Amino acid sequence: MQFTFFHLMPYRPLNMAERHKHKAAWVVLPNTLYDPKKGADEYQSYIDQLVYAEKLGFDVIAVNEHHQTAYGIMPAPNLIAANLIARTTKAKIAIIGRALPLVNNPVNIAEEFAMLDNLSRGRIITGFVRGIGNEYHSTGINPHWSHERYQEAHDLIVQAWTKPGPTSFEGEHFNVRYVNIWPRPYQTPHPEIWIPSMGSSETVKWAAAPERKYPFLVTFSSRELVARYLNVYRDQAKQYGYEASPDQVGWASPVYVADTDERARKEAKEGIETLFNDFLAVPFQMLLPPGYMSLPSMKNTMRMRKALGAQKRLTMEELAESGTVVVGSPQTVRDQLARLRDETRAGKLITMLQFGTLSDELTKRNMEMFASEVMPHLRN
């Protein structure tokens, strides 16, 4: 298995009472609640954790992009990646991902990734995402064209990376006469592209196509859904006439390890519950603006929501029960992860070992425990 240490960089000093006077920790949360001195400390802690992950033996250290939110203070993840390049030597550095539809010139993304790939001499992994629905409110980009813009931006970026320039690109949303990036990527043909997803069938079909075979990562989902979506990907690959390799599938999950189940649950509880309820939770119309999902998927989602009724605060116990988070003793965590790995033959695990308000101290212990007590047992 390949192990990734992934960071969201939440703003932990958030005043939660103030937070709940607003609809979400996104879009409308006043940025006067951000204290730059505390924020600077957060960046330092988080970058130290990412650097430390390399020392602990993680294969990949990873960041991602979110805008105008306390959920993750990384609107420009490439800046963090540049810093990590300077402070690490062998770990791959993954930016999973950049939100392609949110930019007006995807060539900039192709250029920046190519720069990072050169600076790191080929240690970059990229991720292509569409951004969370909230980000169509905060950027103003029309969610109705989210899928179209994503496809076009992807095609344009890959073209910029692989076709000897200058070329031109003719799309509905992006029309670029001169595609001719300097530098070109360091890796040939280009850095890996990973596809983190909540499992939409359109995305599975597209990512698994033989001309792409992009690694597909299911995020923030229950054990059952991870297994289901990864098997959908495998089935899709079979329909295309090939067998998906373990490298092509993986999942992302918050994980917390301590000596005993009891201690792990006690220590992880606040971090897990703040992640899901305070940082991540947003009203439906913010999360799923019209067009963000296809109309048929959205119709199904609306019916499911109607059946579910009002949303309650999620507890760590429920999240652990469904396998959305993995919390426990080394044995418990090993068993749960191994079971899902074996069920899905997944070769990638994206761990979130800092989550919500989890402190530096507990994060460090969690990372060390995971690296010494779990990781070696799950390596092939």
Partner 1 sequence: MPGTETKHKVRDVNVRMLRGGSGPPLLFLHGANGLPVWLPVFELLSKQFEVFVPEHPGFGTSDNPAWLRNIGDLAMYYLDFLDEFGPHEVHVVGQSLGGWAAAEAATRNCSRIKTLSLLGPAGIRIKGLPSGDNFIWSPEEAVRNLYHNQAIPDQILAMQPTDDQADILLTNRFATAKFGWEPRWYNPSLERWLHRITVPTLVMWGKEDKLFPSAYAARWGERIPGSRVEIVPECGHVPAVEKPEITAKEIIRLYAGTR
Site residues for partner 1 per CB under 8 A: 23, 27-28, 136-137, 140-144, 283, 285-286, 289-291, 295, 298-299, 302-303, 306
Cβ closest to partner 1, residue 215 vs residue 289: 289
Question: Is the CB of 121 or the CB of 144 nearer to partner 1?
Answer: 144
Which lies closer to partner 1 via its Cβ, residue 5 or residue 26?
26
Distance, in Å, from the CA atom of 348 to the CA atom of 249, rounded to the nearest integer, reads 6
Taking the least distance from each CB to partner 1, the nearer of 8 and 24 is 24
- Between 3 and 136, CB nearer to partner 1: 136
Q: Are 340 and 323 in contact (CB under 8 A)?
A: yes
Minimum CB separation of residue 102 from partner 1 in Å reads 12
Q: Kindly state the smallest distance separating residue 39's Cβ from partner 1, in Å.
A: 26
Strand 60-63 to 2-6 pairing: parallel
Distance CA 343, CA 320 (A): 18
Q: Which of these, 352, 357, 356, 358, lies nearest to 50 by C-alpha position?
A: 352
Q: Which token pair is 117?
A: 């790939």
Minimum Å gap between C-beta 336 and partner 1 is 37
Instruction: Take residue 267 and report the two structure tokens written for it.
Output: 């220590």
Nearer to partner 1, 23 or 345 (CB): 23
d(CA 237, CA 248): 10
Q: Is the peptide bond before 171 cis (omega within 30 degrees of 0)?
A: no
> Residue 37 CB, nearest distance to partner 1 (Å)?
31
The CB-of-297 to partner 1 minimum distance in angstroms stands at 11
Q: How far is the CB of 74 from partner 1 (least distance, A)?
A: 23
Closest approach, Cβ 24 to partner 1, in A, equals 10
Residue 86 or 304 having the CB closest to partner 1: 304
One DSSP character per residue, 330-365 reads HHHHHHHHHHHHHHHT--EEEEE-S-TT--HHHHHH
Which is closer to partner 1, CB of 40 or CB of 302? 302
**Helix ranges (DSSP H) in 245-359:** 261-273, 284-287, 295-308, 316-322, 330-344
Count of CB atoms situated within 10 Å of the CB of 53? 27
Name which of 86 and 295 has its Cβ closer to partner 1. Answer: 295
The minimum distance between CB 93 and partner 1, in angstroms, equals: 33
Nearest-approach distance from CB 291 to partner 1, in angstroms: 5
Contacts for 378 with CB less than 8 Å, ≥ 6 apart:
1, 3, 334, 337, 338, 341, 349
Residue 128 backbone zone (phi > 0: left; psi -120 to 50: alpha; other: beta): beta
**First-to-last CA distance in the chain?**
6
Instruction: Specify whether the CB–CB gap between 131 and 101 falls below 8 A.
Output: yes
Q: Which two tokens stand for residue 53?
A: 């992950």
